[in-house]
Structure 1
Amino acid sequence: MAKLEICCYGIDCALTAEQAGADRIELCAAPKEGGLTPSAGVLRKVKQLVSIPVHPIIRPRGGDFCYTEREFAAMLEDIAFVRELGYPGLVIGMLDEEGHVDVERMKQVMDASRGMAVTFHRAFDMCHNPTQALEQLTDLGVARILTSGQQQSAESGLSLLRELKQHSRAPIIMAGSGVRLSNLQKFVEQGIDEVHSSAGQNVASVMRYRKAGVSMSADAEADEFNRYCVDGDVVAAMKAVLVAAKTAA
């Protein structure tokens, strides 16, 4: 049966995803940045409270995936911390200036992550040559690649996802970006082994008092009394589709 990974931005979302039947969680902070490394407090509490596998993302900032020496040093520190906490895996990715997998740094990542399952995230979708990148990541020993098939959405990238799955002799090809209940069956029909989804909804703040004319966001038009949360009903429905597909096979 295909596995369902849910992207969670915080403790409550992680608990919701677990209770609704998720197989694994990618734990992140900062959804508007596309996911950054969670805080130490969040990492500690999630490890205490969630029993299904959780893989924190290691990403020090938004933007591209070509990091300075100091940024990379910080990433190695974060890897050491999540390993010390006992997390079974992590999510990471880095490219060089030419858009190729930064193999030398990834070798250091794999060494620092020994004993953990490493997912190479959607930096893969920004790389220059996906076939070469697949070969390099296979040689490095990554457990899986999270990819949209180098398209804006995984549904649009299904043809490359199929090709990658056919040629991958080791890393699991996990479809992510725009994977929803409404199109999940398409990935099942193509034999995709794992899918990654936010399965979320926007939730209004519980605050009744709302100060007008003051924003804490760089985007003055942003609605700061609204946040993105995992929808447990959607997670459960997605899991039901995957279970039904296994039963019918």
Structure 2
Amino acid sequence: MAVLEICCYGMDCAVIAEQAGADRIELCAAPAEGGLTPSAGTLLGVRQRVSIPVHPIIRPRGGDFCYSAGEFSTMLDDIAYLRELGYPGLVVGILNEDGEVDRPRMEKVMAQARGMAVTFHRAFDMCRDPWIAQDQLRDLGVARILTSGQKQSALEGLSLIRELKDRSGAPIIMAGSGVRLSNLPHFVSAGIEEVHSSAGCRGASPMRYRKEGVSMSSDAMADEYSRYCVDADAVAAMKAALCAVE
């Protein structure tokens, strides 16, 4: 049976995902940025309240995956904090200016994360050569690669995902980006061992008073009175579909 990882933005989402049957959680902040390092308080709270494996993302900002010296130093400090809290794994991705895996920095990440399972996230989908990158990540000891097959969605990139999976001695290949209940059978039939989904939805804010004409967002059209949530029914349905194949 394939492993179901759910991307969660915050402690409430993580608790819901676990209750709905997720096998593992990728813990992030900032959904609009595609996932950033969670706060210290969130990391502490999730560690205390969630019992399934949780792998927080280590990503100091949005945008590309080529980091300054200061950003990389922050990432190493954040990894040290995860290890101190006892997290079993983390999610990270670092590229150099030429779109290759930044091997010297990833070696430092692996040393700092000793004893933790490291997932190389969808920075993989931005790299120049997926085959070279896969070999480098295998040699580094990376546990898994989260990928959409270098396409916008994992369904579009399923052919490459399957080829990456079929190479011997490779890290686990986890399909992610646009994976949902409706297309889950495609990944199951392709023999993909792990799938990653946000199972996200928007929930209304409980606020009754809503100030007109004032926004905290750079996007004037953003609805600041709705919140990103994990859809428990979607998680449960995906888990049930995977169990049915067992």
Q: Structure 1: how far apart are the matches of 2:34 and 2:144?
A: 19
Q: Supply the AA of the counterpart residue of 2:16.
A: T
1:57 aligns with 2:52: no
Report the alpha carbon displacement of residue 168 of structure 1 after superposing the two structures with TM.
4.4
Number of residues paired by the alignment?
246
Task: Give, in whole Å, the separation in 2 of the partners of 1:70 and 1:168.
Answer: 37
1:201 matched residue in structure 2: 201
Indicate if the aligned counterparts of 2:134 and 2:170 stay in contact, CA closer than 8 A. Answer: no
Deviation per CA, 1:114-149, whole angstroms, max 9, x where unpaired? 000000000000000000000000000000000000
Partner residue in 1 for 2:31:
31
Q: Specify the alignment match of 2:221 in structure 1.
A: 221
| Distance across 1 between alignment mates of 2:103 and 2:79 | 17
> Would the aligned equivalents of 1:134 and 1:168 in 2 still touch at CA under 8 Å?
no
State the match for 2:170 in structure 1.
170
Separation (CA, whole Å) in 1 of partners of 2:194 and 2:168: 14
TM-score, length-scaled by structure 1: 0.98
Say which SS state the counterpart of residue 44 (structure 2) adopts.
Answer: helix
Correspondence list, 1:75-224, <5 A: 75-224=75-224
* 2-structure distance, mates of 1:170, 1:89: 18
* TM-score (normalised: structure 2): 0.99
**Counterpart of 1:7 in 2: which secondary structure?**
strand
Distance 2:212 2:29 in 1: 26
Q: Name the aligned partner's letter for residue 202 of structure 1.
A: R
197 and 112 in structure 1: CA distance in 2 versus 1, 3 angstrom threshold: same
**Structure 1 residue 170 displacement after superposition:** 3.5
% same residue: 74
Runs of 4+ aligned structure 1 residues displaced above 6 Å come to none
Contact 2:90 2:116 in 1 (8 A): yes
State the alpha-carbon separation in 2 of the partners of residues 12 and 148 from structure 1: 27
Q: Which runs of 5+ in 2 are unaligned?
A: none
CA distance in 2, matches of 1:87, 1:11: 15
How far 1:24 moved relative to its partner? 0.1
Amino acid of the structure 2 residue aligned with 1:4: L
Q: Which amino acid is 2:149 matched to?
A: G
**Kept in 2: contact 1:26–1:91 (CA 8 A):** yes
Give the whole-Å Cα distance in 1 for the aligned partners of 2:13 and 2:185. Answer: 24
CA deviation string 1:147-181 (max 9, x = no partner): 00000000000000000001141310000000001
RMSD: 0.6
SS at match of 1:151: coil
CA contact (8 A) 2:122 2:148 kept: yes
Partner of 1:236: 236
- Structure 1: gaps (5+ residues): none
